[in-house]
Chains A and B, each alone.
Chain A
Amino acid sequence: MTPDQGSNSRIMKKQPRIRPLKENMAKLHRQFAEEICRYDSPYLKELRDSALSTFMEKGFPSHELEAWRNTSLDEALEREYLFDFDVQQEKADINRIFRCEIHNFETFLFTQLNGWYIYENAPLTELPNGVIAGSLREAMKRHPQLFAEHYGRYADTGKNGLVALNTAFAMDGIFIMVPDNTELEKPIQWVNIVNAGEPMFLQPRHLVILGKNSKLTLVHCDDSIQKENTFINAVTEVFTGEGSTLDFYKLQNKDAGSNLVNSLFIHQEGGSRVQTNTITLNGGLIRNDVHSTIGGSQCETLLNGLYLVDRKQHVDNQVFVDHLKPENTSSQLYKGIVDDEADAVFNGHIHVAKDAQKTEAYQTNRNILLSENARVTTKPFLEIYADDVKCSHGATVGQLDPEALFYLRSRGICERNARMLLMYAFAAEVVGKINIDILRDRIDQMVQKRLKGELSICDQCVLHCKDERDIVFEIDMSKIPS
């Protein structure tokens, strides 16, 4: 992403450096309206305008908001960032930038570099089976009807300042549409890379549409190569049509200077099944909002998360499951290990509407605190208006089990490895929910490395580990005949 020297002034003008203050954002929006709104249909134009007014009214979230009581963006918002309005819709050699080294992990790879979709062949791939996938910007241009139907329909743009800001500014991201009765033979892997050489403010926007009885596996890697601060305000909207199945794996391995706010909105139609797994291995400030609206019956919603944070890392998971219709099952399992001065927040909110009888909704948040200065704030919140439901919640914050430690050590295992085995076992429950064997094995290894303090920010991607070291627990259970 080195700007061409010849067109330097043009690029400089399109890449302002500025503090992300409310008034500056309005100014930027006016100044770059041509680039931002180039492919807006009347629907999109209206959506943007109202989103901008919402943002101007609400601004960036502050401590006064219940959902932001334990996470502060103040420090991150004090800096100047580069805003990039210079549309980069050019071909690039993806392999030079990114190479996934999960061996034999066959995926369709989609890459974003500094917020822009980059591609080798075409900005938007339209497969014979009707699947459309690629750049959101290109899809905006080519498929206004799909946008009118889905885009902006699931995110709470009217209530949430950050989502509104993203909606006002959204220029590119990933777009995926899987038609009815279609299953992709390989997972779609989508990688966000930040590598600008200076602090950047990015607002990627993604839209995933699953038709009736379709099936999709998504692997989303949030990664950064650079040391500089970044602020990413990402919004993803997902629609799962009747009877469809979505497995959504998110891996986050960010550097200490990154601020990442990921807002995911899922709208489920009847009989659909959604599983998300959010695995946070490193990060500066990470905020994950998962908002799932269940708008049909016989749906299954499994929201899982694992966070392993240390030093001064901060991770905040906000999960909201909205049971609007009867006979659905949702389950949340979030687990975390928090060390040093790290800080973890979990807010799990289950809402069961009056008509949502026969709802089963479960929530579990378990935490291990490894140091006196580490902090966990966990708040389960059940809001139930129906009377025939099964709901439960449980939150724990504790240390490693001393009985188990003694048992392991009494067999000759040193304290460090005994602790490691227990931490690994604790994490394995979430990792075990990953349905793709090869991805699960790899993440399993990464978790082991992370717990031993050997996983740093990899050169390229969260899944790319050149430096293979001996792993203590080297036996791969899946290879052992039972």
Chain B
Amino acid sequence: MLLEIKNLRVSVHGKKIIKGLNLKVNAGEVHAIMGPNGTGKSTLAAVIAGREIFEVNDGEIIYKGKDLFDLSIEERAREGIFLGFQYPVEIPGVSMTNFMKTAIDEIRKYRGLPALSAGDFLKMMEEKKKLVEIQSNLTSRSVNQGFSGGEKKRNEIFQMAMLEPTLAILDETDSGLDIDALKIVANGVNKLRRPDNATIVITHYQRLLDYIVPDFVHVLYEGRIVKSGGKELALELEEKGYDWIKNELDA
């Protein structure tokens, strides 16, 4: 088991957002978490990544046999957790190259790997850029500064490719993308798929799942997973709308 979330309860500023959530993810799997706005999808992603404003009230997250809450934000990343941000942060003055070089140096050091030479690093950058069809000048610019919405999302997948995570959580990676950009992003994610890693795709719409085909689909509603199934569940949701879930729950 790569990730196991047991009875997770999370609040922010006293407001309960996640109310007893359970999820198991194995290596090699792609999970999609769907649900209406405001049900805790992004909160779940942020809590796994280690965002500090959330308060974990109960439950646990076991990742690779370790208690995730014992690890700092950066330790989680070095252990292979990657969060693709819904709103990637603009950081003026920090170049993509310096950013990635610093990250990879630290991750490799943590894992006891020898440092990459500048030449090898640049070669790696070139290779991974192709994966998401990034124009070469993007990497010499400041992190996300002045990037279009599509460029920002492609940049997230580029970083994912560079860091080769074991567990990637993509938070609304499809939001704000036109169909061409969506295809590029999905294609990048698919190419990074391996038997020893897993991906959790958080999305509001079914559209992305035409391109990133999930093994499991979960519906998150009011802080809990209320329905799980195969990829056909996403299609059913698309067809019947989230009211279908609400009605079913109310019944």
A interface with B by C-beta (< 8 Å):
401, 403-404, 406-415, 417-418, 421-422, 424-429, 472-475, 477, 480-482
Judging by beta carbons under 8 Å apart, are A482 and B101 in contact? no
Q: Is B190 an interface residue (CB 8 A)?
A: no
- With a CB–CB cut-off of 8 A, which chain B residues contact A401? 89, 91
Q: Is the interface of A mostly helix, strand, loop or mixed?
A: helix
Interface presence of B57 (CB below 8 A):
no
Instruction: With A410-B74, A412-B78, A421-B99 given, name 20 new contacts (CB 8 A).
Output: A401-B91, A404-B91, A406-B89, A410-B77, A411-B100, A411-B103, A411-B159, A412-B103, A412-B104, A412-B107, A413-B74, A415-B72, A421-B94, A421-B102, A425-B93, A426-B93, A427-B93, A428-B93, A472-B102, A473-B98
Chain B residues within 8 Å of A473, by CB:
98, 101-102
A480-B73 contact in complex given A404-B91, A475-B98, C-beta closer than 8 Å = no
Among B5-13, B134-142, B204-212, B233-241, the one that faces the other chain is B134-142
Flag if B93 contacts A424 (CB, 8 Å): yes
> Which 5 A-B residue pairings sit nearest by Cβ, starting from the closest?
A425-B93, A412-B77, A407-B89, A409-B73, A411-B103
* 13 cross-chain CB contacts under 8 A: A404-B89, A408-B99, A409-B72, A410-B77, A411-B82, A411-B100, A412-B74, A412-B110, A412-B163, A418-B74, A421-B94, A425-B94, A480-B122
B89 and A429 contacting across the interface, CB-CB below 8 Å: no
Q: Contacts A412-B107, A480-B140 hold; do A417 and B93 have CB atoms under 8 A apart?
A: no
Q: Which of B74, B83, B89 contacts A415 (CB 8 A)?
A: B74
Does the CB pair B140–A472 fall under 8 Å? Answer: no
For the A-B complex, the count of residue pairs with Cβ-Cβ distances under 8 Å equals: 101
Q: Which residues of B contact A429 (CB under 8 A)?
A: 92-93
CA of A413 to CA of B77, assembled, Å: 8
Interface status of B40 (Cβ within 8 A of chain A): no
Give B93's nearest chain A residue, CB to CB.
Answer: A425
Task: Tell me how many residues of B have a C-beta within 8 Å of chain A.
Answer: 42
In the bound complex, do residue A412 and residue B106 qualify as a contact, i.e. CB atoms below 8 Å apart? yes
In contact, B101 and A475 (Cβ under 8 angstroms): yes
- How many angstroms from the CA of A473 to the CA of B97 in the assembled complex? 9
Q: B20: CB under 8 A from chain A?
A: no
Q: List residues of chain A with CB within 8 A of the CB of B77.
A: 409-412
B92 adjacent to A477 (CB under 8 Å): no
Say yes or no: A477 contacts B74, CB within 8 Å.
no
Task: Give A472 to B97 CA distance when docked, in angstroms.
Answer: 12
Question: Is the pair A410, B102 in contact by a Cβ cutoff of 8 Å?
Answer: no
> Are A472 and B85 interface neighbours, CB within 8 A?
no
Q: Which residue of B lies closest to A409 (CB)?
A: B73
Cα A480 to Cα B52 with chains together (Å): 36
- Bound together, the chains give a CA A414 to CA B102 distance in angstroms of 9
Whether B102 lies near A407 (C-beta < 8 A) is no
Query: How far apart are the CA atoms of A411 and B98 in the complex, in Å?
Result: 12
- Tell me, rounded to whole Å, the shortest Cβ–Cβ distance linking B147 to chain A: 13
Residues from chain A with a CB closer than 8 A to the CB of B137 are 482
User: Please, how many angstroms separate the alpha-carbon atoms of A472 and B137 in the complex?
Assistant: 22
Specify which chain A residues have a CB less than 8 angstroms from the CB of B106 in the assembled complex: 412-414, 417
Task: Tell me the B47-105 residues at the A interface (CB within 8 Å).
Answer: 49-52, 72-74, 76-78, 82-83, 85, 88-89, 91-95, 97-105
Instruction: Note all chain B residues with C-beta closer than 8 A to A426.
Output: 93
Q: Is B251 on the interface with A (CB-CB < 8 A)? A: no
Decide: A410 and B50 in contact? CB cutoff 8 A: yes
Give the docked Cα–Cα distance between A428 and B118 (Å). Answer: 22
User: Which residue of the partner chain, among B82, B85, B91, contacts A425 with CB atoms under 8 Å?
Assistant: B91
Is the beta-carbon distance between A472 and B105 smaller than 8 angstroms? yes
Q: How far is the CA of A74 from the CA of B76 in the complex (A)?
A: 53
| Distance from B120 Cβ to chain A, minimum over Cβ atoms (Å) | 12
Bound complex: CA A406 to CA B73 (Å): 8
